[in-house]
Copies of this chain bind each other. A is one copy, B any other.
Amino acid sequence: MTASANSGDEVVVYDLDPDCTLEDVSEGNYYHATVNGVVDYGVFVDLSDSVSGLAHESNYEGSYAVDDDLVVKLTEIRENGDLSFEPADLDDYETVEVDHDYDISDAGELSGAVGETVHLEGEIVQIKQTGGPTIFHVSDETGVVPCAAFEEAGVRAYPEVEIDDVVRVTGQVDERDNSLQVEVDSLDVLSDGDADDVRERLQAAFEERAEPHETEPLVEWPALTQMFPDLEAVARQLRRTVLESRPIRVRHHADGDGMCASIPVQYALEQFIAETHQDPQAKRHLFKRLPSKAPFYEMEDVTRDLNFALEDQARHGQKLPLLLMLDNGSTAEDVPAYKNLAHYDIPIVVVDHHHPDPEAVEPYVDAHVNPYLYDEDYRITTGMMCVELARMIWPPITEELRHVPAVAGLCDRSKADAMTDYVELAESEGYEETFLRDVGEALDYEAHWLKYDAGRNLINDVLNVGNGDGDERHRELVSFLSETAESEVEDQLDAAMPHVEHERLESDAHLYRIDVENHAHRFTYPAPGKTTGEIHDRKVQETGEPVITIGYGPDFAVLRSDGVRLDIPEMVTELNEEIVGGGVSGGGHLVVGSIKFVPGMREEVLDALVEKMADAEIDEELQSTTVGHEQDD
């Protein structure tokens, strides 16, 4: 029995809530009552929906009519449950309200209560109609439990109940198909006030459970640690999303850094989901990771993602997901896709290190973490950020992640000062630098062949994260894959190198051009973008001087430069204006990028492009990276 404190020494008269039961009353106490029947020998009074009894006429004088309110004293509770009252005429008393004491159980702790009737309070997080009952998934501070309510076979029970409603459920705990379920006796949406209380309690509990762990950075690096508060906010939002049973869908760049970013986050979230959800399938329902072949979120991808999300909602009553963009998502090219999602309840979180366009992106995203927003740059790779993010979500995996930032940095040729520390950290775990490069090469190679598939277990083996005691397999596999990848790169370059055209620009920079459509194999590894990169790297090494390389196909060109300042977005804008009917578009930044055009205007576009490059300023500090927007199919 929960009752507000009695502050004075006046007599207390209890006012029972309608759902109070016998358990809430005691002999000798005073209660507010209402007459609900008048008979010869007395009046019947109600104290609540289920508590009522007789005041015998011998116990009072005068007369009562139905619906009269009065105060009664509970004189006797008989063995058979009958109650006897006598009306009381009190001059001065204090009224105390009594709620029925529900003895609310914890949704996450029902295994000991099989066969018992319990009461739960929580939020509805999923509603699924079966051929029999309707299954309401009720979430409280401690977990989520399915509650089966039967109206009629296949008919929606409690049609007024919706996702996010706060409810009180009474039912019997049952073990069914190897998991616990509550057979619903009653399910009530709480009134606004009560709901607010519960919601507040849940919120508070969720906030507490969502709170990320405090972690020490893997290496001392102020450039990165200044971003910790933002990463913690993301960690909090992701943990919170899991607690709310909202699915998380990750879209990431299908390259080495993208994998180094997304695999640790996946691993951390899977652990957290396993801890917080009883259903072992939950980690598949609540988490999905997909690589994006394009360097941005394409309309085709967002259409597919949205379609699947709506299908899951319709079929399984799931919430719409949160979208987590990793190593992608910071640019204006992502905005059309974000706009498409804006019409649905799908929060967007971005962790990226590509040159961002915050003005374009931020109206559509809930969180945006990018080193450029801190006056840093791509050298802080997404993998480096996400290893820390993963540790904030689930610290015990730290052990398995120590080598990952080094792989991420090597993949993206990060020139960060911290790279030395990261490589040393990895070496202390037994990873030689050359082997770390091999891991990167192997990730690239597998990403190529997996295409649109996440390849979870395969990639975990390659990266040696979350793959059990697969160390030896990891080593062998990386060696095999990186050797195969290298040998396929050799084959590609054997075909392409003799056809690389060279000219010396006025600026004295070397310009190399290669027709990757006609002088390289298509639909194989390496794809045009990487082929161009490999040629470029060799030429940089060969000459030791400023180099620009253009790898072009029928309707695209991949650009790479070292020691020359190409402002690619500026070039694209100019080309688009100057070349009528060229259909020029593209992206990138200073040293790397790609452009698209219509095939019939290739010559004009390339000529104009080379002319612009001839004017480009020499800046020997600028070194190429792979962090651009390359066409790589």
Contact = CB atoms under 8 A, between A and B. Distances in A.
Nearest to A476: B343
Contacts of A152: 111
A196 interface: no
A310 B459 CA distance: 11
Interface stretch (A205-213, A234-242, A488-496): A488-496
A452 B229 CA distance: 43
A344 B495 CA distance: 33
A45 to B, nearest CB: 38
B303 A178 contact: no
B311 A131 contact: no
Contact of A180 (B153, B274, B480): B153
Interface in A96-110: none
Contacts of A247: none
Interface centre among A180, A455, A582, by most chain B C-beta atoms within 10 angstroms, is A455
A458 B306 contact: yes
B450 A598 contact: no
B583 A299 contact: no
A458 B178 contact: no
13 contacts: A111-B153, A130-B280, A299-B525, A303-B449, A303-B450, A307-B455, A491-B583, A494-B581, A498-B581, A518-B600, A519-B583, A519-B601, A521-B555
A278 interface: yes
A600 B499 contact: yes
Interface centre among A461, A499, A583, by most chain B C-beta atoms within 10 angstroms, is A583
Interface of A: 111, 129-133, 148, 152-154, 175, 177-180, 274, 278-281, 284, 299-300, 303-304, 306-307, 310-311, 313-315, 336, 339-340, 342-344, 446, 449-451, 453, 455-458, 461, 473, 476-477, 480-481, 484, 491-492, 494-499, 515, 517-522, 525, 555, 580-583, 585, 596, 598-601
A599 B517 contact: yes
Contacts of A446: 303
Interface centre among A152, A304, A525, by most chain B C-beta atoms within 10 angstroms, is A304
A495 B299 CA distance: 20
Nearest to A600: B518
A520 B457 contact: no
A491 B461 CA distance: 44
Given A148-B178, A304-B453, 9 more contacts: A132-B179, A300-B449, A303-B455, A307-B457, A314-B457, A494-B583, A496-B583, A521-B583, A522-B555
A177 B424 CA distance: 55
Given A303-B446, A600-B499, A280 B131 contact: yes
Contacts of A600: 499, 515, 518-519
B596 A521 contact: yes
A554 B336 CA distance: 31
Contacts of A582: 495
A278 to B, nearest CB: 5
A454 to B, nearest CB: 9
A580 B494 CA distance: 8
Given A148-B178, A278-B131, A455-B307, A299 B517 contact: no
A404 to B, nearest CB: 20
A581 B480 contact: no
A473 B343 contact: yes
A82 B343 CA distance: 76
B344 A473 contact: yes
A439 to B, nearest CB: 14
Given A343-B480, A457-B314, A581 B496 contact: yes
Contacts of A180: 132, 153
A330 B494 CA distance: 27
A178 B133 contact: yes
A512 to B, nearest CB: 15
Contacts of A580: 498
B178 A132 contact: yes
Contacts of A303: 446, 449-450, 455, 458
Question: Which 6 pairs, one residue from A and one from B, show the smallest C-beta to C-beta distance?
Answer: A495-B583, A132-B178, A518-B600, A498-B581, A310-B457, A131-B179
Nearest to A524: B299
Given A111-B152, A458-B306, A601-B519, A497 B131 contact: no
A300 B278 CA distance: 36
Contacts of A497: 581
A153 B278 contact: yes
A131 B279 contact: yes
A574 to B, nearest CB: 15
Nearest to A128: B280
Given A314-B457, A457-B314, A555-B522, A450 B581 contact: no
A307 B453 CA distance: 9
B521 A598 contact: yes
A280 B129 contact: yes
Contact of A477 (B343, B457, B491): B343
Given A153-B278, A278-B153, A555-B521, A480 B339 contact: yes
Contact of A480 (B179, B306, B340, B519): B340
Contacts of A153: 111, 179-180, 278
Contacts of A522: 555
B154 A278 contact: yes
Given A446-B303, A598-B520, A600-B499, A132 B175 contact: yes
B133 A311 contact: no
Contacts of A177: 132, 177
A633 to B, nearest CB: 10
A396 B12 CA distance: 57
